[in-house]
Amino acid sequence: MAETPGLRELKKRRTRQALVEAAVRLFERKGYEGVTVAEIAAAAEVSTRTFFLHFQAKEDVLFAHADVRVDLAVAAIAERGPAERPADVLLRATERMILDAWDGGDLSGGLAALRVRLAASVPALQARLLQRYLGARAELARALREAFPDELDEVTASALVGAMVGAVGAAATAALERGDGPAEVRDAMRRGMELVARSLPA
């Protein structure tokens, strides 16, 4: 009997999460450079081939939920109501990303803290983090511009998104670096969001 799409997707998510959790444990114990893809796969009780069905490279495990988070924000922007202003839409999109960081396990599972710590000392991860940040910022700016074609040009949309994403990311990084717990990091992200919100046009 063939598996239903729902069951296949559930198994895929569980395997992906098992790989993330295994990688976190190994990185914490042996350091990033001391862990191989084969070790991560073995710890998750899957094959190396299965690892590469979920992630292109070892560093991508540390960004396991990033693409989903950006997709959620883009969807939130696309859902703009006729009476909503750019600031309203950007705030909702940002809040959705913060909620996903909480619900998706980045904060509670220790992935966010590990990512920040390793990125500070591993040049390859620093480069990957910057690449993903710039890509996400450009995608969100493009979505905001498309949602408000008569009100925002490329520069304004990019500036609004850059201010918001930059503030939230910087607040999260500062909180993680001083050892705050998941709830405190989430609150710091919301503080960053609210600080920018006060300066956004009504």
Alpha-carbon distance values, 192 to 31, 91, 94, 131 (Å): 31, 11, 10, 22
pTM (2 d.p.): 0.84
pLDDT of residue 3: 52
Averaged pLDDT, 75-94: 93
pLDDT (tens digit, 9 = 90+) per residue, 39-82?
Answer: 999 999 999 999 999 999 898 998 887 878 999 999 999 999 88
Length of the chain: 202
Question: Read out DSSP for 160-202?
Answer: HHHHHHHHHHHHHHHHHHTT--HHHHHHHHHHHHHHHHTTS--
- Residue 120 above 80 pLDDT? yes
SS3 47: coil
Between 169 and 109, residue with greater pLDDT: 169
Confidence of residue 202 (pLDDT cuts 50, 70, 90): low
Confidence of residue 200 (pLDDT cuts 50, 70, 90): confident
